Structure formats: structure tokens, C-alpha cells
Homo-oligomer: A and B are copies of this chain.
Amino acid sequence: MNDKRRKLSEAEIGAAVQPLKGWSVSGGKLRREYKFRDFAEAWGFMTHAALEIHAMDHHPEWSNVYNKVTVELVTHSAGGITPMDVELAGKLEEIAGRLGS
């Protein structure tokens, strides 16, 4: 099995989430809500994120209402949170950070 797609233990998840500000574990998924200035800024975030998502071939469960974007990350094939989810969370943080929000 690809090491990046192996299910992390609870301790590993705890350690991985710790530096990811705003992220928590909810219902067995990594979860964060982002709030932007308006729809255009939220869409800018999602559009940049979509490029990374496509490149990684690892897809979030995400929703948008106006300036809010809620992201949930889990690897269904592994039955839990994997290094891929942690990596994508880190990329989303980097993208959101560039927007200065």
C-alpha cells in the first residue's frame, strides 16, 4: 500500500493536526471552516485549491455559501485520515494564507 494513503493512528493525527491552525478532527475527518471577505475571495481560494486538488488527485468534501468554505478531508479507500489529507490541509493553509485572511 502507498505509504501516503495509509490510515494514521489517533496519536499520529493529533500530532499532524497540532500545527494546522483552525483544523480539527470531526466525525473521523479533518475539518476546517474558512471565512473570506466575500464570494469573489472565497472563489479565488477554491480556484487555487482546485489546481492543487487536481494535481494531487486527492479530493476534499467541500462546500461554499457566499464567503464561507467548509472543507472535510478523509481517504475513503483507507477508511480514515491519511498523510494525503494532512498534506492537502497544509496546502490549503498556504493558499488561504496568501489571501491574507
Chain A interface (Cβ < 8 Å from any Cβ of B): 39-40, 43, 47, 50, 53-54, 59-66
Residues of B close to A43: CB separation below 8 A: 50, 54
Question: Bound complex: CA of A47 vs CA of B54, how far in Å?
Answer: 14
Measured in the bound complex, the distance between the Cα atoms of B47 and A62 in whole Å is 15
* CB neighbours of A39 from chain B (8 A): 50, 53-54, 59
CB distance from A93 to the nearest CB of B (A): 20
Residues on B with beta carbons closer than 8 Å to the beta carbon of A50: 39, 43
The CA of A43 and the CA of B43, in the complex, are separated in Å by: 12
Q: Which of A40, A50, A54 has most B Cβ within 10 Å? A: A50
Q: Complex: how many Å from CA A60 to CA B39?
A: 11
- The CB with the most chain B CB atoms within 10 A, among A40, A61, A64, is that of A64
Contact of A61 among B60, B62, B63 (CB under 8 A): B63
Evaluate contact between A59 and B66: CB separation under 8 angstroms: yes
